[in-house]
Copies of this chain bind each other. A is one copy, B any other.
Amino acid sequence: KDSYDITLLPGDGIGPEITESTKKVLTALCEKCGFDMNLKVALIGGAAIDAVNDPFPQESLEQCQASDSVLLACIGGYKWDSNPRELRPESGLLKMRKEMGLFANLRPAKVLPQLIDASTLKREVVEGVDVMVVRELTGDVYFGTPKGIETINGERVGYNNMIYSESEIDRIARVAGDVASKRGKKLCSVDKANVLDVSQLWREVVTDVITKDFPDVELSHMYVDNAAMQLIRWPKQFDTIVCGNIFGDILSDEASMLVGSLGMLPSASIGESGPGVFEPCHGSAPDIAGEDKANPLAMILSAAMMLKYDLDRPDEALLLENAVEAVLDQGLRTPDIKQEGDGCKLVGCSEMGEAVAKIV
């Protein structure tokens, strides 16, 4: 295949400008490598709420589903923060994940040598850290029912159901086993099996899947509280981590902070079949939106994940990743990764995008 339909979801805040830079890079890559990308924009988040009063309209969903892959920038902003929940940008994100069946979220946290000083952790602790968090994304307390707020015995009670079925655990364990077997072959499954029934089932099914079908992967288990400590104590002990939706939400963000430069971190959300969604881990940074100060590299690296996981073009993915490292080696830095006295050159979002485009 040498022509792809890609849906771009620029979203909110800095979303449009990092999308613009990423487009330039993808266009350059296509020219160089001799394939085509048909990049079509759709609405999500606050932008969609403002336009059609729905954070992820049916039209966007259908366009995404008809694409080969989806590249999302970021969503959210103060403007919509006091909206009722169903009219908030995040609800669009959750709906997209659920409707597109994106049950596996891959969140790499890799420390780049050029940016090692951006971490608040000591150099010797984070040097060489390369952790992949595989987070389940369509189950758990995020989507479990029954849920709600109701009055019981004269007072209100709020509740959500933390729930996983065997088949949900089985399929995420397979993704994690596969990811781990292509990396360092070490998988740590994180749960709270000393307290939770749902975690007991989780541990049992993960153990089954990995020991039977991924014999070359070394499996360990860790309680979530301990994992939150160990990530800080000695992150290099981890290769691949697998966990449920809420523990993964917390731990993947914690892991990304080890790296220190959120503006560099991509993610992939994939399903059984059909297009995946690729997006940076950072938020929409409304405070700097439109000022050409945003860092487009996480979105560009997300495009690299798209090339690898959805378009089956690992070589082109590598080209992008190398180009990103090369602009860092050239000493270009957006404000978020500029350190005092690093002797580097401060650039804006568009200049950074152009620099990457020139290299690929």
Chain B residue, CB-CB nearest to A169: B158
Cα separation A58 to B224 with both chains bound (whole Å): 30
Cα separation A48 to B162 with both chains bound (whole Å): 31
Kindly state whether residue A213 has any CB partner on chain B within 8 Å.
Answer: no
Cα separation A98 to B197 with both chains bound (whole Å): 18
Interface residues on A, range: 35 or more
Kindly state whether residue A198 has any CB partner on chain B within 8 Å.
Answer: yes
Partner of A195, one of B94, B233, B234, B247: B94
- In the bound complex, do residue B156 and residue A159 qualify as a contact, i.e. CB atoms below 8 Å apart? no
Number of this chain's copies in the assembly equals 2
Chain B residue, CB-CB nearest to A151: B166
Which B residues are in CB contact (< 8 Å) with A228?
228, 250-251, 253-254, 257
Chain B residue, CB-CB nearest to A147: B197
Kindly state whether residue A273 has any CB partner on chain B within 8 Å.
Answer: no
- In the bound complex, do residue A229 and residue B246 qualify as a contact, i.e. CB atoms below 8 Å apart? no
- In the bound complex, do residue A121 and residue B232 qualify as a contact, i.e. CB atoms below 8 Å apart? yes
Which B residues are in CB contact (< 8 Å) with A197?
147-149, 158-160
Partner of A158, one of B160, B167, B200, B262: B200
- In the bound complex, do residue A156 and residue B160 qualify as a contact, i.e. CB atoms below 8 Å apart? no
Partner of A233, one of B147, B149, B198, B257: B257
Chain B residue, CB-CB nearest to A158: B201
Q: How far is the CB of A25 from chain B (nearest CB, A)?
A: 27
Q: How far is the CB of A279 from chain B (nearest CB, A)?
A: 15
Kindly state whether residue A338 has any CB partner on chain B within 8 Å.
Answer: no
Kindly state whether residue A272 has any CB partner on chain B within 8 Å.
Answer: no
- In the bound complex, do residue A162 and residue B160 qualify as a contact, i.e. CB atoms below 8 Å apart? yes
Cα separation A88 to B141 with both chains bound (whole Å): 26
- In the bound complex, do residue A164 and residue B160 qualify as a contact, i.e. CB atoms below 8 Å apart? no
Chain B residue, CB-CB nearest to A224: B250
Output the residue of A156, A164, A256, A262 with the most chain B CB within 10 A: A156
Kindly state whether residue A113 has any CB partner on chain B within 8 Å.
Answer: no
Partner of A229, one of B152, B202, B254: B254
Cα separation A257 to B167 with both chains bound (whole Å): 35
Cα separation A234 to B260 with both chains bound (whole Å): 11
Partner of A200, one of B149, B225, B250: B149
Q: How far is the CB of A90 from chain B (nearest CB, A)?
A: 5
Kindly state whether residue A192 has any CB partner on chain B within 8 Å.
Answer: yes
Cα separation A199 to B246 with both chains bound (whole Å): 13
- In the bound complex, do residue B161 and residue A161 qualify as a contact, i.e. CB atoms below 8 Å apart? yes
A232-B258 CB under 8 A given contacts A149-B200, A163-B157:
yes
Kindly state whether residue A196 has any CB partner on chain B within 8 Å.
Answer: yes
Cα separation A232 to B252 with both chains bound (whole Å): 13
Cα separation A200 to B148 with both chains bound (whole Å): 10
Which B residues are in CB contact (< 8 Å) with A226?
253
Which B residues are in CB contact (< 8 Å) with A52?
none
- In the bound complex, do residue A158 and residue B198 qualify as a contact, i.e. CB atoms below 8 Å apart? yes
Cα separation A194 to B160 with both chains bound (whole Å): 13
Cα separation A157 to B200 with both chains bound (whole Å): 11
20 example contacts (A-B, Cβ-Cβ < 8 A) are as follows A88-B194, A90-B194, A90-B195, A120-B232, A121-B232, A141-B162, A141-B196, A155-B166, A157-B165, A157-B201, A158-B198, A158-B202, A160-B161, A192-B249, A225-B249, A225-B252, A228-B251, A228-B254, A229-B257, A229-B262
